[in-house]
Structure 1
């Protein structure tokens, strides 16, 4: 019989068969849960969650998961086959081995993880924007960057399934069936991995002689039963720690009896939370919220008033060089306390303000010399406080670029301010509750982004 420490606790008022079944399974795999917490659907911010039965001190371990209980391509029943044919499973996402594991385990009545996977009977609780209609995404999320990100996701998912997964499962009809393991199920499992998986942090390499030209690939995602029951807030009170033998959820600040235990998915803006996890944090609680000013908006503003062909040609040369320097970054990112991509914004503003001679010297010298403390100076210059003190020409470019970006949301924007109707909805809890969950989440993303852009405009007002 399991000791009291290992006998997992479920809310006594709960009649959720799948949850009880899962907790019994946790006992069999030696997942140890503290007596001070329990899992429930009642009293949590969303779906399943974990609540404190009594006060918990900082540093206490809430539960411990042995690595044998983790679900990934190395622990699944089909692991040997996946390892044997791994060269044929390579893709840009790096998720195919885990997704094939989930396709098999989710549909197998004999799966070791069936009690765990049965918590998600049809994935209808997942409400990522990828499951919204294209029209709904465009209408509710215009300007946020999410519709474009979802279109890219869906294209990549379809290509990955068609080019990599389908040929593989067709070669192994004893384990997978294209009629069962469809693109629709594959897409649902991608969302499941987006919302619930964990990635083990990279170990710090002590050997500095590693090949610096080739970045080490991130660890593949894995499913972590129990850890994925915890909901997220930016101001979290628990954190997942990785050890060689197990994973441990540790309390990082005191939790009082009756409070929910929250993990963190990282420093995530609301648009990222909605895109990857299907939810948002209510305004203004997400301290990690951000808004983007696209590079192209700054370029459009910079070229206003340029009349001569020679000046336009110079501006185009400047922008072409900046685009090469910025590489894949497509926007300047602003947070609640200033610009998070301050170095890139500083470079762009400095180059766009050059004369023809200065730009020629810049190209010839391949940049400019920087002071040892240049990064710190730039960071301060593009903080909220620093924006007030920028040179007028730079403030003007940022101000007008922010205004142009605000106009991309497609709703009522008067002098760059968020619309009155949105502010009223955010402040009126009853009215907010009358919206659908999709409308609420979209509003939180839009309002948070536009509030940041509006603040940028205020700070750069001439």
Structure 2
């Protein structure tokens, strides 16, 4: 056997004999390298709905509670719970197990089945030429190398603050950090902390598997004790591949163990799939380094606000300095108290609008476009003072919120949206002869990444195309002038002087 197979055999033996994992005889760890899928879990017999595929004791998962670092440095354990975020904590824990404990680590047979750096395909590992294949996808803006570099410096400072004396922990490199962070990104789970729950049963648990900060995505990083969950590495559970359309198993937690249940019948010879989250292919590629060849169930493309502005500037070019006017309008929507109240404090000015493969477009995007399209049709809007613009934004935002709430939209808004989709699709240049089978057959890493990029872009194009008629399908279209008349009439009524009251005539005697 080659090293890959030897590591698999040792891993399964370790699971069953050293860390007390109960494994159903109906599954096995299989070798799918010939399909570029590495290890996976296969059904060796028919599996019924809700059947338990394996059960893992909580003490056999790796996190800040079970790690060797917390045993050797008890004072560091409290810091890991209270003063450090989930990501930094598990990164330090995993670095310690790999670099300090090494082969003496309780989890070494598990580490032996980790992917090598050469097999990591998350976007942090792509070179500049490979990343260019992802253009024009906005996923390029979410790689977050700057955020990762900041966390790398934080991790090094924490290692020093913890007083960890082991020399190998003082020489952590950027490559070490990226590898461990990428492994955590790809394979970790957020496990509810029952011990913390028992100590404070009355507090609401706001656990959200997708809300925790990610190494390359910025955002607030809650402490473990605040969040009441443990970011953990779970042997065998992370061996399952994931697929948004083929998912047939789910990991469920109880007080003492974690159990993988079949959520639908699984036939003998079928692969067992988990679900990593409701992610589009672009996010699956960014986080996990692969794509679903027939597209994710949750795919979307994005129309940048800059593209919408470009279309608006072209369609309303008769307005003097229309680009400056749009800036005024967006600023008023973001900051004016009356407008915010009219919109029920929804943040509708975003950098891009998501267009889902099922033809759904967020209501916030529809509302923003409707407000702007109506405003730009108001006579002489380009000559208004900033104060007048704000007053009109206040009035129009209220009317448009009511209009869309009643299931209606103006025809011009629908037309502008179609033009926005057409303009965005011009950015894409997807190979019409894309050979998707290369996802499984090529052994050249750069070629594989090129194909994955093309598959991802193809999914974004399909999503954008599906949303071209999204507003026409969702709303009843009305004439723009009808809404404009209502708005302008109200304006005239508000500015007209109040009629003088006639004095009652006195009766003459």
**Same fold by TM (over 0.5)?**
yes
> Partners of 1:260 and 1:135 in 2: how far apart?
34
The aligned runs of 1:17-96 (5 Å cut-off) are: 17-27=6-16, 28-42=18-32, 46-79=37-70, 80-86=74-80, 90=84, 94-96=86-88
> 2:303 touches 2:421 (CA, 8 Å); kept in 1?
yes
Which residue of 261, 266, 272 maps to 2:283? Answer: 272
Q: Number of aligned pairs?
A: 419
The structure that has the greater radius of gyration is: 2
> 1:318 touches 1:352 (CA, 8 Å); kept in 2?
no
Where does residue 186 of structure 2 map in the other structure?
195
Q: Deviations over 1:312-371 (max 9, x none)?
A: 554322122345653784221111222342234324423442346796255379856967
> 1:72 touches 1:222 (CA, 8 Å); kept in 2?
yes
Where does residue 131 of structure 2 map in the other structure?
137
Where does residue 408 of structure 1 map in the other structure?
427
> Partners of 2:353 and 2:117 in 1: how far apart?
35
Q: Deviations over 1:18-69 (max 9, x none)?
A: 1122122212211111111111114876111111111011110101111101
> 2:64 touches 2:230 (CA, 8 Å); kept in 1?
no
**Is the helix fraction higher in 1 or 2?**
2
> Partners of 1:87 and 1:34 in 2: how far apart?
34
> Partners of 1:134 and 1:350 in 2: how far apart?
40
> Partners of 1:121 and 1:438 in 2: how far apart?
17
Q: Is 1:234 the counterpart of 2:253 in the alignment?
A: no
The aligned runs of 1:332-371 (5 Å cut-off) are: 332-354=353-375, 355=378, 360=391, 362-363=393-394, 367=398
Q: Is 1:111 the counterpart of 2:71 in the alignment?
A: no
Q: Deviations over 1:139-196 (max 9, x none)?
A: x10111222211x2x211111112x221233453523535652221111111101110
- Cα distance, 1:119–1:339 mapped onto 2, change above 3 Å: same
> 2:371 touches 2:397 (CA, 8 Å); kept in 1?
no
Q: Is 1:297 the counterpart of 2:307 in the alignment?
A: yes
Where does residue 222 of structure 1 map in the other structure?
232
Structure 1 SS opposite 2:118:
coil
- Cα distance, 1:433–1:407 mapped onto 2, change above 3 Å: farther
Where does residue 168 of structure 1 map in the other structure?
158
Structure 2, unmatched stretches of 5+, are: 207-219, 336-345, 382-387, 478-509
Structure 1, unmatched stretches of 5+, are: 1-11, 382-389, 412-418
> Partners of 2:234 and 2:439 in 1: how far apart?
37
Which residue of 121, 125, 129 maps to 2:119? Answer: 125
Structure 2 SS opposite 1:119:
coil
> Partners of 2:268 and 2:422 in 1: how far apart?
47
Which residue of 87, 91, 95 maps to 1:99? Answer: 91
Structure 2 SS opposite 1:256:
coil
Q: Deviations over 1:269-307 (max 9, x none)?
A: 0000000000000124x2211111112221222222333
Structure 2 SS opposite 1:49:
strand
Structure-2-length-normalised TM-score: 0.72
Where does residue 483 of structure 2 map in the other structure?
none
Which residue of 396, 416, 419 maps to 1:397? Answer: 416
- Cα distance, 1:310–1:423 mapped onto 2, change above 3 Å: closer
- Cα distance, 1:250–1:44 mapped onto 2, change above 3 Å: farther
Structure-1-length-normalised TM-score: 0.79
Where does residue 450 of structure 1 map in the other structure?
461
> Partners of 1:38 and 1:50 in 2: how far apart?
6
Structure 1 SS opposite 2:42:
strand
- Cα distance, 1:106–1:64 mapped onto 2, change above 3 Å: same
> Partners of 1:328 and 1:194 in 2: how far apart?
30
Q: Deviations over 1:226-253 (max 9, x none)?
A: 1000001112111111111111110011
